[in-house]
């Protein structure tokens, strides 16, 4: 599951890294580029609760596999799309694929460990995604010129191959049996699911705000200040540090501690990233500050995800979609609504 998460989020990270060059190639405004990023984030995040409900009804395995392939193929094609309309279409379709993949794969993670060491497993899963976000920009920016029109093949191939591996290594969905008849339990209503997870959603929305702002604003700021060469490394350091932070947070959490305790380190992430105002882009201080902010920004993700899944044990995908989708969507919407 963690490996397939690398492949899916690799293409998402590649899109983020390529947006400044796409802006220049198609002569788009900064506003148009921001809309592409916002559409992708909005569809992939706000679509997750609905996707989670569908997954709870029909099972996660094949939805995870097919959505991983679709996301990799569609977002991987972004570098060669010729028009702004095509880019928006790719953002919608790729975002929908990501919206289905994340709660489906998170459900597979929980079922694979059957409640034992769940935060560690979810930390590895989250770490796989952020590792993909780290690799994507570096791979896309570094290979864009040498590969030219073949770049989409490089970006999509890992996601497709890892999705095939996911299908080969996971068990078929097995509905519960009652009286010799297979049936899936009715998932908890979306309203009730939201009520049970609302405190976690609110807490995670606040701490995601800094990472979403960083990932969308800093690459464009670097491009505008003629520091485009630092974009790939900047995004990679942040995401790689976030992967380490997520894995460490999952392993360090004690099962008897409250989930909210794991959120506290994430509250320090904005303070760490404020140090960028006093750092020179590309310097050691710049990257050390980004690494600190990235690591702190993700320590609570596996802890909060485990807590949400435990509160909705019969609707694990819905819980996963609410916890992974809504906080990012709300943070993104807040960032988009802020004045430039």
Token pair of 221, please? 């700021």
Comparing C-alpha atoms, which of 329, 305, 52 is closest to residue 200? 305
**What are the Cα distances from residue 24, in Å, to 17, 19, 21, 223?**
13, 9, 5, 10
End-to-end CA distance of the chain: 38
Residue 189 is classified by DSSP as P
Q: What's the CA gap between 19 and 258, in Å, rounded?
A: 39
pLDDT over threshold 60, residue 323: yes
Specify the residue for token string 């079922």: 111
Q: What is the mean pLDDT of residues 141-148?
A: 87
Helix (H) / strand (E) containing 161 = helix 151-169
Q: Is the pLDDT of residue 127 over 90?
A: no
pLDDT above 90: residue 64: yes
Q: What percent of the chain has pLDDT over 70?
A: 87
pLDDT at 181: 46
Check if the beta carbon of residue 138 is closer than 8 Å to that of residue 17. yes
Mapped onto helix, strand or coil, the DSSP state of residue 339 is coil
Q: What is the dotted CATH code of the domain comprising 2-170+190-337?
A: 1.20.1250.20
Tell me the whole-structure pTM to 2 decimals: 0.83
């Amino acid at each position: 599951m963690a490996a397939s998460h690398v492949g899916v989020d690799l293409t998402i990270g590649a899109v983020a890294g390529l947006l400044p060059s796409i802006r220049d190639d198609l002569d788009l405004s900064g506003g148009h580029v921001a809309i592409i990023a916002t559409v992708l984030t909005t569809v992939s995040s706000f679509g997750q609760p609905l996707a989670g409900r569908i997954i709870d009804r029909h099972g996660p395995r094949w939805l995870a596999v097919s959505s991983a392939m679709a996301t990799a193929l569609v977002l991987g094609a972004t570098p060669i799309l010729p028009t702004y309309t095509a880019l928006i279409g790719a953002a919608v379709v790729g975002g929908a694929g990501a919206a289905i993949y994340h709660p489906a794969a998170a459900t597979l993670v929980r079922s694979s460990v059957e409640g034992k060491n769940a935060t560690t497993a979810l930390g590895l899963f989250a770490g796989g995604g952020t590792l993909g976000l780290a690799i994507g920009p570096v791979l896309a920016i570094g290979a864009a010129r040498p590969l030219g029109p073949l770049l989409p093949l490089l970006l999509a191939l890992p996601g497709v191959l890892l999705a095939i591996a996911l299908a080969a290594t996971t068990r078929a969905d097995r509905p519960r049996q009652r009286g010799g008849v297979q049936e899936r339990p009715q998932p908890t209503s979306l309203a009730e699911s939201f009520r049970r997870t609302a405190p976690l959603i609110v807490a995670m929305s606040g701490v995601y705000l800094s990472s979403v702002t960083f990932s969308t604003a800093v690459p464009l700021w670097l491009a505008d200040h003629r520091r485009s060469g630092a974009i790939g490394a900047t995004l990679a350091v942040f995401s790689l540090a976030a992967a380490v932070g997520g894995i460490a947070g999952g392993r360090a959490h004690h099962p008897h501690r409250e989930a909210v305790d794991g959120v506290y380190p994430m509250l320090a992430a904005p303070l760490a990233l404020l140090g960028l105002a006093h750092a020179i882009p590309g310097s050691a201080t710049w990257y050390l500050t980004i690494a600190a902010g990235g690591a702190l920004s993700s320590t609570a993700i596996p802890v909060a995800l485990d807590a949400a899944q435990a509160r909705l044990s019969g609707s694990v995908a819905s819980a996963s979609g609410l916890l992974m989708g809504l906080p990012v969507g709300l943070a993104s919407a807040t960032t988009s609504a802020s004045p430039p």
